[in-house]
Structure 1
């Protein structure tokens, strides 16, 4: 898809505010920004989903949250599924999840797939898997993508944050080329500049996870870790 203006990026932006110490007023203002700019989604911690859902109710802005994050792959499968169920009941429309990279590297493919499938089944929501591509070998990347789609995910995501990878067209294209029909790609990781965001969308990304959404739709550059 071709982007011709900063405003055309808005539907792709998943407006992210995930950091310690966020207050009620900050979360509400963040959600209101998402509505004002017609962002695709507002991404917030699970503990604030209910409040954000109330702010965006009646708009096209979706509520997104994340689990097993920012330290990816530390939750039990049972705990992950129960948390996903709780997030869904609170009003989320979609969830980004960490995956068990260590299990994948240990050859525990069935456990890797089942961990994701448990979240898909418990939540009933579109699930995005944070695949942490730079941490994987070429063969592991292929297995991670296939196992995730076998588990029922609706989104493939290159990384959890800029600490793992700066979002780039190469990673986006890798996922787009392997995505089955109906599976979309989200780019994430230090998306800080308009030109960078445009390149990601043109590579095939259907969503951009970033804490610099306001700057992107104004055609500016900013600092962003998510």
Structure 2
């Protein structure tokens, strides 16, 4: 089945996280998000607060991005500051090395530190799924849930191992059930890829090329979209 354009738009975090992004580009991102009807815009913390008229568009930002190799205290402080500057949602990157060392307990602790520092934001945990084994993906999802996260997210889009895959999304969705959301992000550049992620269990999508992806949804079946 295919999701409709309007339903797909409401799942999108319209994203601009390039290191050379300007405030003018953020303003253009916000305008495009309103035009496309996306759920949110996702920008770097330095771009907060957003001063443009947002309408119904939410504001998301990142934390410990993109490496995840920040201390828990630094991540917590970053998230707390972003919340004060108007972020509705924070996408934090875990310390992947700790997970690789079998220390999912420490990953859980850093997620909890961020959760406690910014209790009122929706918290998504980026696990960099392309760099993980299936067992590590499951462990990261369980740590995220135990620490009070709202979503698990596949990727930063900056890791050399790659971005989202339908396999990883399906495994993440099976692990967290309907208790957490699943965000697919990284390398999703057309409608077919976006639809595949939704079919695998994604409930949110991180896209920089949202307009191009949504153009491919124009011919989607309306009744199919109602299921999402």
Q: TM-score, normalised by structure 2?
A: 0.88
CA–CA distance in structure 2, aligned partners of residues 22 and 4 of structure 1: 31
Name structure 1 gaps, 5 residues minimum: 221-226
Q: 1:126 aligns with which of 107, 118, 122?
A: 122
Q: What residue number does 1:224 align with?
A: none
**1:96-175 correspondence to structure 2 within 5 Å:** 96-124=91-119, 125-161=121-157, 163=159, 164-175=161-172
Partner of 1:85: 80
Superposed displacement of residue 47, structure 1: 1.0
> Aligned pair in 2 of structure 1 residues 3, 75: CA closer, same or farther (>3 Å)?
same
| Maintained 8 Å contact 2:129/2:163 | no
Compared CA separation, residues 167 and 136, structure 1 to 2 (3 A): closer
Partner of 2:176: 179
The normalised TM-score by structure 1 is 0.88
| Residue 53 of structure 2, aligned match among 42, 55, 58 | 55
- Residues in 1 aligned to 2:192 and 2:62: alpha-carbon distance in whole angstroms: 27
Instruction: Tell me if structure 2 keeps the 8 A contact 1:168–1:200.
Output: yes
Distance (Å, rounded) in 2 between the aligned partners of 1:148 and 1:99: 9
Number of aligned residue pairs: 215
Tell me the alpha carbon deviations over residues 28-85 of structure 1, each in whole angstroms, 9 at most, x when there is no partner. Answer: 1111111111101101011112025x421xx321100111112x22111111101100
Do 1:6 and 1:194's aligned partners in 2 also have CA atoms closer than 8 Å?
no
Q: How big is the alpha-carbon RMSD for the aligned residues of Structure 1 and Structure 2?
A: 1.7
